[in-house]
Structure formats: structure tokens, C-alpha cells
Amino acid sequence: MSGTDEQGRVALVTGAARGIGRAVALRLAAEGRTVGVLDRNGDEAEALAAEIRAADGRAYALAADVANAAEVEAAVAELAERVGPPTILVNNAGILRDNLLFRMTEDDWDQIMDVHLKGHFLVTRAVQAHMVQAGWGRIVNLSSTSATGNRGQANYSAAKAGIQGFTKTLALELGRFGITANCVAPGYIDTDLTRQTAERIGVSFEAFMEQMAAQTAVGRTGTPDDIAEAVAFFAGERSGFTTGQVLYVAGTPHV
């Protein structure tokens, strides 16, 4: 495939309005992809899409709850009709509902499972048909170092570990159609979700990030752009022989 052909592909990024999703959308757009900017907040999605277009990129805003099957199906159909069928998918949408197990409510558990696991499933199911038809696809799922266990995150850790198993299964099922599925597992990244974690444990965000930086081999915490770099590799043509893998982007070999 030529570089021009690859640049013409349509990518869908969920939870794209802020943080890691925003960085990924900007990176893929800068590489020439048309980006479907999907977020629950339609106004924020449109603001990012407009920013991409102002920089001579191509983007289309979509508002949907990834845990709602009807909204997901409608959004993917709209994207395919308006700008073309998506053959790159970045499942990034996520929330936090942290608490120690004895304080965790059933709603805390269900919301995390709905957005992370069910959301990944619903969006992937809707998009994979377009990939199969095209005979080419790239699925990149966002996990976390919390998949290995993290105090106060029984729900989140279980969901992020589940995403890794989901990814490996997608790789096995879809590989014969020219589709790869890989997982990026960030460590501590400077995002709104990380700020929520600092608030939960009762420390300032600055102190929290300093503590996390001291635990890395590289002496710093990550940025959304660090994650976008890894996603961009998995989303591209050159990663065609890499599938079912989990890449920890955490600044340390210990996760």
C-alpha cells in the first residue's frame, strides 16, 4: 500500500475530546487520516473536530455514549456515510469510579464495566464489519498498568485486564481478514482522570505526580502525546505483523 492510500483511511477515536483521546485524534489527523471524533459531549467533540479542520486536517464530530448500542450503531453508520467507512479504531473512552472494595457500590462496578468493557465491545462490533469488507483494519484498545492490580480500583483493574483478553481474542478472530488488534497500557499520564485519582487519595496533583515520577525508570510521568506515539504505530501499515500484543507505556519495566 502506498503512503497516500494509508493517509486516506478513516479512523474512529472514542473519548476523543480530552486527554489521551484528544492527543490520538490530533496525531492521526496530522498523519493524514480522516478522524471521527466521538465523545459523549458533542460540543467538545465538535470543538476538536473544528480545530483539526482549521489546521487543514479532516475530522467529523460524533456524539454517542459508547455503552449504548443504538447510539454506537448510529454514530458508526453516520461516520461511514458522511466521510467513509472506518478501518482504524481506537477504543479510548473511559471513566473512573474508584473506591476500596468494601465501599464500592454496585453502580460503581456497573458503570466501569459498561463504559470500558461493554463500550469496547459495542464499538468494535459496529466497526469491524467495515474492516472485514475492506480486507484491512487496525484496532487499538486502551488498557492500563492498573490491569495488574491497583488499590482502590477493583472495578477499573478488572475492566482493564478484561480489555487485554478481549484484544487477544479479537486478534485471533479477525487476523484472517487483514485486521490486527493490539493494546496500549498507559502508566501515570497527566490527564483529568489522573487528577481524579489524586483527589481520591487526598493529595495535591503535583505531589501525586512527583511521587509517581519517582517510581519510573525515566524519572517522569507520561503525557498524552507519549501514548499517541504508541497508538500511531499500531494504527499504521507498518504494524501489520504485530497483533494481540499489550504494550505498557509507563516509563518503567516494572508494572
Q: How far is CA 233 from CA 28, 179, 186, 205, 242, in A?
A: 10, 14, 15, 30, 10
- Active-site residue 188, yes or no? no
Contact 25, 130 (CB under 8 A): no
Looking at beta carbons, which pairs linking 100-104 to residues 24 or more positions away fall under 8 Å? Answer: 100/151, 100/152, 101/154, 104/154, 104/155
Instruction: Please tell me the distance from the alpha carbon of residue 121 to that of residue 128, in angstroms, as a whole number.
Output: 10
CA 113 from chain centre, in angstroms, equals 15
Instruction: Please tell me the distance from the alpha carbon of residue 231 to that of residue 183, in angstroms, as a whole number.
Output: 8
Contact 131, 170 (CB under 8 A): no
Indicate which residue of 60, 156, 188, 248 is catalytic: 156
Residue the block writes with cell 517522569 = 220
Instruction: Please tell me the distance from the alpha carbon of residue 151 to that of residue 230, in angstroms, as a whole number.
Output: 26
Active site residues: 156
